[in-house]
Amino acid sequence: MILGSIVTVIVFNIYALYMQIVKGIQVGNSPAPNVVMIGVIVAMLIAIWVFFSMKLEVWIDKDGIHYRFFPMIFKNKIISNVEIQRFEIRKYNPLLDYGGWGIKKRFKWGRAYNVSGNIGLQLYLKNGKKVLFGTQRSQAIMYAMDEMMKSKTGNFKYQ
């Protein structure tokens, strides 16, 4: 839906620019200046670039879960293994549970980082927060989580 809206805005602005510059015909009762329409086209092209360049990177090592979500989160972030109370691989509905894909936050399920699919690694942190990472490789992430938590001292619960 977002992509369709962006493309529609671009096409309309190109049409309006063509009519105003080449044909000399105003589009609408109070047309926007040409520089505004060019700015809208550039902004929408940047939005398309952001949309198609989104990439969620998650990797797990003995220290915890490292992640970044390009281009929204440039710097690597980490959730330390000592912050994790428990985890589970769960099926979720991106639209109903979080309102879509990307970086989302909902009261019931906490924060989500996802780009596609409906399977995720749900973390329950000791501070009461919840974090979900979408994954296409649920078995691999479960294995990595088990290995990470083996290196952690203390009690740990998982589902």
pLDDT(49) > 70: yes
Model confidence pLDDT, tens digit, residues 23-46: 888 888 888 888 999 999 999 999
Of 90, 72, 77, 103, which Cα lies nearest the Cα of 141? 90
Rg (CA), the chain: 22
Looking at the chain, list the stretches that DSSP marks H as alpha helix, in order from N- to C-terminal side: 2-18, 34-53, 138-150
Cβ-count burial of 111 within 10 angstroms (0-12 exposed, 13-18 middle, 19+ buried)?
A: middle
Interhelix angle 2-18/34-53, rounded to 10 degrees, is 150
pLDDT at 152: 64
Cis status, amide bond into 31, omega within 30 of 0: no
CA–CA separation, 60 and 77 (whole Å): 12
Model confidence pLDDT, tens digit, residues 82-95: 899 989 999 998 88
The pLDDT-based confidence of 124 (bands split at 50, 70, 90) is very high
For 43, 80, 89, the CA distances from 145, given in Å and listed in that order, are 40, 12, 10
Note whether 36 and 43 are within 8 A (CB): no
Note whether 12 and 18 are within 8 A (CB): no
Taking the model in full, what pTM does it have?
Answer: 0.69
